[in-house]
Amino acid sequence: MADDPAPLVGLQPSSYEVGKDEYVPPLFALPGDYEEAEFEFETGSHRLHQAVTGWREGGCDILWSMVMPATVALNLDRLVGRTVLELGAGCGLVGLIAAQTASHVVITDGDVPEVALCTDNAARHAPSHARVEAAHLAWGARPSQQAQEEGRLGGCRAFDVIIASQVGCAHYMCVHLLT
């Protein structure tokens, strides 16, 4: 597009209060290992309990699970008629929200069981007018090229919008994501 897009609407965090500034190894939260936090958005203040994983000051898991879908929902007008690739989709919620106005959405995850869940969710919950597909996509130049050659990316050679949903939970994979 020739014009610079307007700033995203809504849910950029403006402040947060979390108890400790310490690193907790990701993916190792014990049941009941929760902490109350308050998150301030343009839409108001929200208190919630969240599982403690990753870098505590970063907001942990539940914050971004709430912010990503809400931000996409508030900006659906930016996706009208576009092709969208969702990376790190998990259950595919963000991609399914994008499908409300996008012309074609490919929901991907690197975990095969998650792709099965995305496929099921797309079949059950995608809008009837939407073209939504789920695909396994390992990150890195070679796996991405192979997925495209095999037609696993919905036949798209390029995407208008790429949404990186849950891509930071395994930081050792970020190098592969960037390639």
Which position has the higher pLDDT, 135 or 37?
135
Q: List pLDDT tens digits, range 122-172.
A: 888 888 998 999 998 877 767 677 777 777 777 777 899 999 887 766 666
C-alpha 145/C-alpha 139 separation (Å) is 10
- Kindly indicate the confidence band of residue 91, based on its pLDDT and cuts at 50, 70 and 90: confident
Structure tokens at 61: 């898991």
127 close to 101: Cβ distance less than 8 angstroms: no
pTM greater than 0.85 (yes/no):
no
Homologous superfamily (CATH) for 76-178: Vaccinia Virus protein VP39 (3.40.50.150)
Q: Where are the domains of the chain?
A: 15-71, 76-178
Low-confidence winner among 24-33, 45-54, 85-94, 112-121 (lowest mean pLDDT): 24-33
- CA dihedral of residues 111, 115, 118, 122 (deg, nearest 10): 160
Which position has the higher pLDDT, 171 or 1?
171
What number is the average pLDDT over the span 116-126? 87
Residue 38: the pLDDT is 60
Residue 110: the pLDDT is 82
pLDDT at 48 over 90: no
Residue 81: the pLDDT is 95
Q: What residue type is 140 in one-letter code?
A: G
Residue 62: the pLDDT is 56
C-alpha 11/C-alpha 9 separation (Å) is 7
